Chains A and B, each alone.
Chain A
Amino acid sequence: MAKEVVTKGPSDERWFDVIVYLIAAVIILIVLYPLLFVVSASFSDPARVLNGEVWLLPKGVTLEAYNNILHNDQIWTGYRNSIFYTVVGTLINIVMTLLAAYPLSRPDLPGRKGLMLIITLTMFFSGGLIPSYLLVKSLGMVDTMWALIIPGAISTYNLIVMRTYFQSSIPWELQEAAHIDGCSNWRLLVSIILPLSKPILAVMVLFYAVGHWNAFFNALIYIRSEHLYPLQLVLREILMISQSTGVDGGNVGMEEKILLSESIKFAVIIVSSLPVLVMYPFVQRHFVKGVMIGSIKG
């Protein structure tokens, strides 16, 4: 930025900067506090958390919760599964979305509006749980990992975002020129469109991957075998136990299980969110770089 500022005095600019920085600082504090609380709680004596003694720093520091998790096979299986679902699922998502978004972005494609309508309508109507379940069942995917990947292969929302990007950010004349050079549409997609689409691909990978990592409802419905459970379902089970009420008689061990869950829940939250948080800065570098090359313009 230029040092000499035109017409408006430098103090004005300075004040503006100060206010911007202050607001940003306040936002950071508000966002960070609950997160710090969870971290502190995960290192604290669970009884003191339940009693509300912890508010910022850990009380009665203990690593018991993490130790418990370390020896919990369920969590590690969930971890492995979630990574698999996220990687394979996202790959399929990207390919499918790309295959749909690109042709639909072409203004010279006959029938494009009709197809778009067909696709958009699906955001509003669904046959409901039962027919969907019947379908997945008849495809033989119930209680297999595919039930978590194939039925959600495309997110219409993401498809629309991607299509909008192609329409607005990749010059049409470029594509026409390529055509005149005798370039097929496949070649065009692979060697011209894709290299220009890094930012949107980065965004899509992020959207889809986080979606997979946090998803659990389909698993709740379609997966019975615990060795196929994604991490979120394991997490949910742990968190739900402490929510459960009115356990009827003959429930030996339930109390202990509940109290155990209560004591490890904050640590489980940390452990399950960690991979995404750790990965994020790496993805983000590409992401920001991509965004700088070109972006979603009007």
Chain B
Amino acid sequence: MKNAEIHETAAAAKFRSERGSRLIKQIVKRYDLYLMLLLPIAWYLLFHYGPLYGLQIAFKNFNPGKGILGSSWVGFDNFQRFFDSYYFWRLLWNTLSINLFSLILAFPIPILLALLINEIKSKSYSKLLQNITYIPHFISVVVIVGILTVLLSTNGPINMLIQALGGSEIRFMESAGWFKTIFIGSNIWQNMGWQSIIYIAALSGINPQLYEAAKMDGASRMRRIWHVSLPGIVPVIVILLILDIGQFMNIGFEKILLMQNNLNLEASDVISTFVYTTGILKGEYSYTAAIGLFNSLINLTLLLLVNRFARKTSETSLW
């Protein structure tokens, strides 16, 4: 057996070559690994796959008195109702656009922050920066929205500053035009420090000799970042990007719900808030189950596409 350069793929290849009659032997030999998996897999089956039968209510007119199985089938009526709804296109557009802008703006910022922190030579200063940027993550969304409302209200500090500079007051919270900016901006504010943790960890794992070598070659700081730091964390970036895109349609509905009002609804009405207000609060379970299913399908499609793309281009993928 050549164990010189064992790598995941090599091991897998070896495993494949031994497949067939030895498969059973392989499995038996690693029975204790399955033993470890027993509990988690049982948990997945029970708590994730168990309730899946509930998806059928998307195709039914769910009547709690009759139970899930006893309710009558209605085919694609619930889906039809959603597609025909006056709000369908608006919901879809808002959901997509908020996520798209988030991905473009909010995804790279933790990476940039990590790179910045990595470049700070003073240990105490970089620690200070890290510690301060983490803090907002610990604050719950209810509170964040509370702070936003006060800061951005017509007699709040931001508007006072604008007026002092000769501008006229802006009703940030009651304007569709500002909604996405505020939503994404505050998300960045809250999470950039936290999300940079993984990148900082990855950066600190890069072999210092690589930097020394680059320096010897006369590479400037920017070039070192570009040619050493960044490539060092690309696999992490790719995995996180895939996961993010997989969650593309799921935006924190709580925060949007709290920020929502009739004046910004045009920009803030998204699928998840719609599901919450019509489903859980008004008890329209079948209708919202259909919407949820539609949402999941989009997510899954995106994930499969991105994962395939990632596997082809960077050899990193989820499975």
Interface residue ranges, A against B (CB under 8 Å): 1, 5-8, 12-13, 16-17, 20-21, 23-24, 27-28, 30-32, 34-35, 37-38, 41, 49, 51-52, 55-56, 96-97, 99-100, 102-104, 106-111, 113, 115-132, 134-135, 150-151, 153-154, 157, 160-161, 164, 167-169, 171-173, 176, 184-186, 189, 199, 203, 206, 210, 213-214, 216-217, 232, 235-236, 239-240, 243, 265, 269, 272-273, 276-277, 280-281, 284, 288, 291-292, 294-298
Contact = CB atoms under 8 A, between A and B. Distances in A.
If over half of A's interface residues share one DSSP class (helix, strand or loop), that class is named, otherwise mixed; here it is: helix
A115 B296 CA distance: 20
Contact of A185 (B33, B146, B318): B33
A125 B52 contact: yes
B243 A32 contact: no
Contacts of B239: 160-161, 164
Contacts of A16: 119, 221-222
A215 B298 CA distance: 27
B232 A185 contact: no
A295 to B, nearest CB: 3
B86 interface: no
B68 A210 contact: no
A291 B200 contact: yes
Contacts of A288: 127
Contacts of A135: 46-47, 50-51
B33 A113 contact: no
Interface string B1-40: 0010011110110110000000100110010111011011
B57 interface: yes
Contacts of B312: none
B282 interface: no
A128 B113 CA distance: 37
B54 A127 contact: yes
B202 interface: yes
B133 A31 contact: yes
B142 interface: yes
Given A17-B121, A298-B235, A298-B236, A52 B155 contact: yes
A102 B36 contact: yes
A108 B11 contact: yes
